[in-house]
Chain A
Amino acid sequence: MDLRPPALEISGLTKSFGGRLAVDHLDLTIPQGEFHALLGPNGAGKTTTLRMVAGLLKPDIGTVRILGHDVMQQPARAKQVLAFLPDEPLLYGKLRALEYLEFVAGLWGVPADVAGKKAEGLLRLLDLWGHAGELVEEYSRGMKQKLALAGALIHDPSVLILDEPLTGLDAAAARLVKDLLLERVAHGGTVILTTHILEIAERLAQRISIVHHGHVVAQGHLEELRATASTQGQAGATLEDVFLQLTGSAGE
C-alpha cells in the first residue's frame, strides 16, 4: 500500500465565470509516479481545472493538494514541486534560450551550477542547443514549445502538468517529448496531461480521466473504461468510442 501523499488530490473543486459553471465539484486523485491523461471535449473544464491546480485561478470552493501541500494555504511549497506548461506558453521574445532558462531557474531557486548544466542538457536533448544564442522571437512555434518544456523541467519537478503539450511539434519532436515524459514517469515522476489526440492518451497514459460538464464522468485504466463502455452496450470499444459515448458526442 502506497503511504505517500498523492501527487495530486482535488476535492470538490468548483469554479464559475459570470454564473456559468466551468468546473463543478470535481474530484480527482492521482498517485505519485503515474502518467495520467485528462480528456474531455472543448469547454469541458480541463484547462480551468489545471489553471486552478497551478495556482493561476482561485477556486470558488474546493481544495487542491500537490504532494500533500494545499495550493491555496501553502502556495510556495506546492509550486516548488510543480511545473505547469500551458497550451500556448508565453515566452520572452527578447531573451535568448539560455537567458530564459537562467531566469526560470532563478525563480525556482535552482543553484546556478546545477541550473547551467541542466539547461545545457535539456537544450541538447530537445535539439535546441544550436539555437541557444538566438532570441526566442526568432524561434518557430515548435521550438518555442520545446523551450517552454525545458523551462518546466529545469527545476526537476515531481509533478509535471501539461496542457496540450504536443501542439505545434513535428513528428520527431513529438516523439522526443513523449519519450522524455515516459522517462520521467519511469524515474518516479508524475505527469498529467490534457490532449485532444486520443491515441496519445491510449498509448502513454496509465490511467485516464474523462471530464465533461466540469466534472469527472469516468476514470481508470483503458480496460476499465472499455468495460464501462461495454456495460452500456459497446463490447470491444476503442477509447474514441468510450470517449464519444461518455461525453454524449456520438452521433452528434
Chain B
Amino acid sequence: MKLVAAVRPGSTRWLIRHEIRLAWRGAGSQRTWVLAFFIAMWLVLHVGAYVVFRQWVGTGDLPAWAALMAAAATWAILGLMLAGAISGSVQALFERGDLDLLLSSPLPTQAVFMARGLGVAADVGRTLLFLLSPVANVGVLIGHWRLLAIYLVLPAMALGIAALGMWLSLAMVRLLGARRTRSLGQVLGTLVGAASFLAIQLRAQFSADTLAAIGAVAEHLTGPYSLLWLPSRALAGEPLPLLVLFAVGAGAFWLVVRIAHHRFLAGTQESVTGSATRARVAPAASTQRFRGGLLRTVLMKEWRLILRDPKLIAQTLTQLLYVCVPVLVAAAGRNATPTALTSLIGPAVVYCAASLVSRLAGITVSGEEAPDLLQTSPVSFSRLRWLKAAAALLPVWLIAAPALAFASGTHVLGLLALLLCLVGATVTEAAGQVWYARPAKRSDLSRTSQGRGVGGVIAGITAFAWAVLAFCMVEAPSYALGALTVAMLGMAVLRLLGRKRQAEG
C-alpha cells in the first residue's frame, strides 16, 4: 500500500504534501542534481564545522567578542528571515494563481492557511537549517549536546517569523497593494543583507579588544537578560531562553492560523479587488506634452522603468556596495599616506563605475518587457540596444566625473587621463552587454543570472585593465603602456567575438 494513500484528501497533511510537490517540481529540471549538490555541500559543512570546533576546543572558551558577534549575526539573520517571510507571504497568500481554486473549494480555510503558513516558515528556515545543522551535529559529536537546541529553536524562529511576516504583509497589502508589499519585502531583505555585509567589512577594522569592549558596554546597557541576547542564547542551548523562544514562535504561528485566518481570507479578497478601490485620479494627463526624438524617448523610458522599480535599485546599489566596499577597505588596509590614498580613488571610481554600468546596462539592454514592439519598429535592433546602453552610461558618467575631478585635484591632464579610463572601462562593459545580451523580461532579471559567459569575463578583465591603467598613470607610469595594451586588446577580442555571436544569432 502506498504511503500517500493514508493521507486524507483535503486534510492539512494532504495540502502540505501538495505544497511540497509543487515546490519540488518548481525547482527545475535539474533538481535531482541540485539536491545531490546541496547534500554534498552539507556534508562538507560538517568538515568545516569540525575544524572550527577543534580550534575552539583548543583555545578553551569562545573569545570574548564572540557573544556580541553571535547576537548581532542572529538579529541580522532574523531580519533577513522577516524580509523573506513578507515576500513569501505575499506570494503565498495573495499572488499564487491557485488560491482562488483552493478557497472556492469546500476545504476549510484554516487548513489552507496552515499549509501556506508552514510553506512560508519552511522557506525562511531552510537556508539557516542547512547552514546550522552541521554545527549542531558536530557539536553533539564532540560533547556539546546543548547545540541540539538548534533543531528546536530554528523551526520555532521560522514559525514565529512566518507568523509576523503574514501579519505584516496583510497590513501592508491593505495599505500598498500586493505588488508593492512584495517589492518592499525584497528591498528590506536586500538592505538587511547589505547592512550585514557592511558590518562584516567594518568588523575587520576593529581589534578583538575593541569588540569585547563594545560587547561589555552593550551588556551593561541592556543587562544580561535583555531580549538582545535571547535568540543567540536560545541557539546556544540555554534552557529558559530556549523555552521562551519556542513558546513565542510556535504560539504566534498557532494564533495566526487558528484565530486570524478569516482576516487573511478577507485580505485576499481585498487584494483581488483592491486595484479598483485603490484607483487614483489620473494625474493631470492633459498637461503632459510629448517631446520627440528617438534618443530622448528611449532614455526617458529606460530611466522611468528603473526609477519605478525599487527592488532593482536596491539590488543594483547592493551589488555596487559589494564591489566598492572591499576595494575601499583594502585601500585603507594598506595604511597608505593621504596622497597615496587619493591616488587610489581615481582607479577605484573607474572600476566601481564600470561595475555599475555593467549592472545597469544588463537591466536596460537585456531586460525588455516588449521585445516584439521593438523588433517591429523601423529602428534597427542594434541601434536600439546602444541607445539603451546610453541610458546606463550617462548617469554613471554624471556621478563618476566629479569624483574623478576631486581625485585629480588641479591636474588637468590627470583629470583627462582618468576621464579617458572612465569612458574606456564603462563603454567596454556597456559593449559587453550590447554584444552579449541575454534578453529576458525585466521582472525576471533578479531571478535569472546575468552571466554573459566568455564575453562577460573579457569585458570584466578589460574594464579592470582600464582601472589599472588609471592607477599606473599616477603611481607607476612605466607600466601604463602594458595596461593600455591589455585594455585595447580586450576591446578588440570582445568586438571580434561579439560580431561572431551576432552573426550566429
Contact = CB atoms under 8 A, between A and B. Distances in A.
B369 interface: yes
Given A113-B290, A116-B289, A108 B378 contact: yes
Interface stretch (A4-12, A29-37, A89-97): A89-97
A131 B280 CA distance: 9
A120 interface: yes
B179 to A, nearest CB: 7
A55 B376 CA distance: 6
Contacts of B373: 89-90, 104, 107, 151
From B288, B291, B298, B371, residue with most partner A Cβ within 10 Å: B288
A195 to B, nearest CB: 19
Contacts of B298: 103, 106
Nearest to A57: B375
A132 B304 contact: no
B286 interface: yes
Interface in B283-321: 283-286, 288-294, 296-298, 300-301, 304-305, 308-309
Contacts of B378: 75-77, 79-80, 107-109
Which range holds the interface residue count of chain A? Answer: 35 or more
Contacts of B286: 120
Contacts of A99: 300-301, 304
B6 interface: no
Contacts of B380: 75-76
A243 interface: no
Contacts of B374: 107
Interface stretch (A133-141, A220-228, A234-242): A133-141
Given A92-B369, A107-B379, A102 B290 contact: yes
B279 A106 contact: no
Interface string A97-135: 111001111111111110110011001000001111111
Interface string B358-384: 000000000001111111111110000
Contacts of A55: 375-376
A129 to B, nearest CB: 7
B36 interface: no
A56 B439 CA distance: 14
A91 B305 CA distance: 12
A118 to B, nearest CB: 9
Nearest to A105: B290
Contact of A107 (B290, B308, B377): B377
Given A56-B372, A106-B294, A135 B308 contact: yes
A60 B284 CA distance: 49
Contacts, number: 123
A132 B376 CA distance: 24
Contacts of B371: 90
Contacts of B275: 138, 140
Interface in B256-294: 275, 279-286, 288-294
Contact of A115 (B292, B304, B369, B376): B292
A82 interface: yes
Contacts of A82: 376
A86 interface: yes
B279 A90 contact: no
A95 B377 contact: no
A137 B376 CA distance: 22
A86 B371 CA distance: 11
Nearest to B286: A120
A92 B285 contact: no
A112 B292 contact: yes
Contacts of B285: 97-98, 120, 123, 129, 132-133
B72 to A, nearest CB: 36
Contacts of A75: 378, 380
A109 B383 CA distance: 14
A115 B301 CA distance: 16
Interface in A156-208: none
A54 interface: yes
Interface string A57-75: 0000000000000000001
A113 B291 CA distance: 8
B486 to A, nearest CB: 38
Contacts of A138: 275, 279
Nearest to B370: A90
B497 to A, nearest CB: 22
From B309, B372, B379, residue with most partner A Cβ within 10 Å: B372
Given A55-B375, A106-B294, A131-B279, 4 more contacts: A107-B294, A107-B297, A112-B289, A115-B290
Interface of A: 54-56, 75-77, 79-80, 82-84, 86, 89-95, 97-99, 102-113, 115-116, 119-120, 123, 129-135, 137-138, 140, 151
16 contacts: A55-B376, A76-B380, A98-B290, A99-B300, A103-B300, A104-B377, A106-B292, A106-B293, A108-B377, A109-B294, A111-B292, A116-B288, A120-B286, A129-B285, A132-B282, A133-B280
Interface of B: 179, 275, 279-286, 288-294, 296-298, 300-301, 304-305, 308-309, 369-380, 441, 443
By Cβ-Cβ distance, the 7 closest A-B pairs, closest first, are A106-B297, A133-B282, A112-B292, A132-B285, A116-B290, A107-B377, A94-B308
